[in-house]
Amino acid sequence: ALMRTAALALLASVLLAQPAHADGNRMAMVEGAIQGYVLPGYQDFSWETRRLREAMQALCDAPSPDALDDARRNFAITVRAWSRIELVRFGPVTEQNRLERILYWPDRKSIGLKQVQEVLATRDPSAANVGTLVQKSVAVQGLGALEFVLHGTGSEDLAAKGDGYRCAFGRAIASNLEARAADIDDD
């Protein structure tokens, strides 16, 4: 991620340092970055969130150690897809708090973690439904929340039939991520 950020910063400095008569070249380079990096990055993230939602659905439908491993693997792939594009901080990702809904970070005071733990402890039914989850804090809607669902204290219960609520919450988060990614890709 640091290398990509440095590369984009270098590209930006080169573009800004060019003389005014290079506007045509500058626009071609910007268009190339959008077509060759930004749009494919959002398309890939959208695709991976769809696969993640499908893996969460499969886990909830038939809990097992293999289904949990598959959901965790798809989560890791989705995080990598997001990591490749998260440095883009302009355009559709900035609308409607999409960036924060995908990843509430930095969370210096662990507010997100506390909210996720509270949702799980109280078994809040509105958090287990994607339609009402979007009305809650952005801290319980994205990758950070799903990380705790899949890897945090009590996550091993997802492999058994014992915690349908936790799985429903995770599925709602995955569905929310899929919707946000599709919105960004469409816009």
pLDDT in tens, 68-99: 999 999 999 999 999 999 999 889 999 999 99
Residue 97 contacts residue 138 (beta carbons within 8 Å): yes
What's the whole-number average pLDDT of the chain? 89
> What confidence tier does 163 reach under pLDDT thresholds 50, 70, 90?
confident
What percent of the chain shows pLDDT beyond 70?
87
What beta strand segments (E) does the chain contain?
Answer: none
Closest CA to 46 of 8, 1, 98: 98
pTM for this predicted structure? 0.85
Tokens of 105: 């970070």
Least confident segment among 141-145, 160-164, 172-176, 180-184: 160-164
